[in-house]
Amino acid sequence: ELKVEQNPLFLSMQEGKNYTIYCNYSTTSDRLYWYRQDPGKSLESLFVLLSNGAVKQEGRLMASLDTKARLSTLHITAAVHDLSATYFCAVSTTSGTYKYIFGTGTRLKVLA
Residues engaged in binding other proteins (CB under 8 A): 30-31, 33, 35, 40-45, 48, 88, 90, 92, 97-105, 107
- Kindly tell me which of 73 and 92 has the beta carbon lying closer to other proteins: 92
- Kindly tell me which of 14 and 45 has the beta carbon lying closer to other proteins: 45
DSSP code for 57: E
In whole angstroms, how close is the CB of 16 to other proteins at the nearest point?
Answer: 27
- Tell me whether residue 106 is exposed, middle or buried, using C-beta atoms within 10 angstroms of its C-beta: 0 to 12, 13 to 18, 19 or more: buried
In whole angstroms, how close is the CB of 74 to other proteins at the nearest point?
Answer: 15
The pairing of strands 106-111 and 10-14 is parallel
- Kindly tell me which of 98 and 111 has the beta carbon lying closer to other proteins: 98
N- to C-terminal Cα distance for the chain?
41
Three-class SS state of 67: coil
